């Protein structure tokens, strides 16, 4: 499938600079550009590639000012990143496989309510009383437990396990290997042993949530572990029992949120962030990769380090951290000089 540069520009409401008739048949990274492909430039540190890339067309920001001429056609838009994101979504919609029907062997228990145009892959299991919305796709070897509710236009990829009583909203995506609704980590000391605390709650994913591969979201001890509308969780994220994650919060891979912590809306967590239990992380908090949070965090905070503290202060401290061996050496020399002076007195 081929498109002209001017057609792509019209679709993205951008402006063409160069040959609007050049044909595009695929996309590429700007540093690995090939003829008849479209790339994008959003980060200034990649600007040097635009003058040598073999890509025929490059999406750039409206305010991009090249330092010299390049050979490629440019399409200017308000945001190159937003433009390529929109374009990739359209491309995926066209190219993505569209499986249909109920494959065999699969198991659908009695009393399951299936919506219209549902896809159920081979070896999938849907338990009693489950309610599956319209246009839901359940890929092979997925497990949908008893009483699970899945909203319209949601995609459950291969090998996902959704335990009984959990609720998945509309327009959600759950990637392969993720487990939703396993028991929370609840054990009470009983002498030399531990006694398991029954986890009788569930997990609720609201609409437009996306969960990466091999993530785990544990069911609540009582009530619900709740992932609110628009949340995006990366691969290998662990959400413990009774956690609430606010709207449109994003977490990169290997984050771990301990039990009963409340995370606000529009927060951004880098990879491997760890948050202790029973804390409150207010709205629009940003936590750098590998931050360890042990106390409540005020709205709008930017933290890094373990234990976490203000990112600007952390950077200043880090300058000193790197000099500690040198400073320690200087301190020892001073101690020796002082000791020598004392002996001379």
* pLDDT tens-place string over residues 12-69: 889 999 999 999 998 899 999 999 999 999 988 999 999 999 999 999 999 998 888 8
Crossing angle between the packed helical segments 5-12 and 80-95, to the nearest 10 degrees? 110
> Is the pLDDT confidence value at 221 over 80?
yes
Scanning the structure block, which residue is given the tokens 């969780």?
233
Those residues with Cβ within 8 angstroms of residue 126's Cβ, 6 or more apart along the chain or in another chain = 106, 107, 108, 109, 112, 120, 132, 138, 144, 148
pLDDT of residue 154: 98
pLDDT one-digit tens code per residue, 60-108: 999 998 888 888 999 998 888 888 888 888 888 877 888 999 999 999 9
Does the pLDDT at position 262 exceed 80?
yes
Q: HEC string of the chain? A: CCEEHHHHHHHHCCEEECCCCCEECEECCHHHCCCCEEEEECCHHHHHHHHCCCCCEEEEECCCCCCCCCCCEEEEECCHHHHHHHHHHHHHHHHCCCCCCECCCCEECCCCEECCCCEECCCCEECCCCEECCCCEECCCCEECCCCEECCCCEECCCCEECCCCEECCCCEECCCCEEEECCCCEEEECCEEEECCCCCEEEECCCCEECCCCEEECCCCCEEEECCCCEECCCCEECCCCEECCCCEECCCCEECCCCEECCCCEECCCCEECCCCEECCCCEECCCCEECCCECCCCEEECCCCEEHHHHHHHHHHHHHHHHHHHHHHHHHHHHHHHHHHC
Phi first, then psi: give them for residue 149, nearest 5 degrees.
-115, 130
Q: What is the pLDDT of residues 288-330, one digit of tens each?
A: 999 999 999 999 999 999 999 898 888 888 888 888 888 888 9
CB 199 within 8 A of CB 186: yes
pTM: 0.86
Nearest partner of 232 among 260, 213, 217, 212, judged by Cα: 212
CA distances from 218 to 59, 146, 335 (A): 42, 17, 55
Query: What is the reported pLDDT for 344?
Result: 79
Residue 97 neighbours by CB distance under 10 Å: 5
Active site amino acids: 241
Q: For 133-181, write each residue's pLDDT tens digit.
A: 999 999 999 999 999 999 999 999 999 999 999 999 999 999 999 999 9
Please give the Cα distance from 8 to 322 (Å, whole number). Answer: 50
Return d(Cα 157, Cα 170) in angstroms, integer.
Answer: 15
């Amino acid at each position: 499938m081929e498109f002209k540069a001017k057609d792509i520009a019209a679709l993205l409401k951008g402006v063409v600079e160069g040959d609007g008739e050049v044909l595009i048949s695929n996309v590429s990274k700007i540093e690995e550009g090939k003829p008849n492909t479209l790339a994008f430039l959003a980060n200034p540190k990649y600007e040097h590639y635009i003058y040598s890339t073999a890509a025929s067309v490059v999406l750039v920001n409206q305010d991009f000012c090249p330092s010299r001429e390049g050979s490629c056609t440019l399409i200017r838009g308000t945001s190159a990143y937003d433009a390529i994101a929109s374009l990739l979504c359209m491309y995926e919609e066209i190219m993505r496989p569209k499986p249909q029907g109920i494959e065999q062997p699969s198991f659908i228990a009695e009393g399951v309510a299936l919506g219209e145009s549902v896809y159920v892959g081979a070896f999938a299991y849907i338990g009693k009383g489950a309610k599956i919305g319209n246009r839901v796709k359940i890929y092979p070897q997925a497990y949908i437990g008893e009483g699970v509710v899945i909203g319209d236009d949601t995609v459950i990829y291969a090998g996902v396990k959704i335990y009984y009583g959990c609720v998945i909203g509309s327009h959600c995506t759950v990637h392969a290997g993720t487990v939703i609704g396993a028991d929370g980590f609840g054990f009470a000391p009983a002498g030399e042993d531990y006694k398991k605390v029954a986890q009788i709650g569930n997990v609720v994913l609201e609409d437009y949530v996306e969960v990466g591969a091999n993530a785990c979201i544990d069911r609540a001890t009582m009530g619900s572990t709740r992932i609110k509308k628009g949340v995006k969780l990366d691969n290998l994220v662990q959400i413990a029992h009774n956690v609430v994650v606010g709207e449109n919060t994003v977490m990169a891979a290997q984050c771990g949120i301990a039990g009963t912590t409340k995370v606000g809306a529009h927060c951004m967590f880098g990879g491997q962030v760890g948050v202790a239990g029973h804390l409150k992380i207010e709205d629009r908090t940003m936590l750098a990769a590998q931050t360890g949070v042990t106390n409540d965090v005020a709205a709008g905070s930017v933290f890094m380090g373990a234990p976490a503290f203000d990112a600007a202060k952390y950077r200043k401290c880090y300058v000193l951290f790197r000099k500690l061996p040198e400073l320690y050496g200087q301190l020892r020399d001073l101690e020796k000089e002082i000791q020598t002076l004392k002996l001379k007195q």
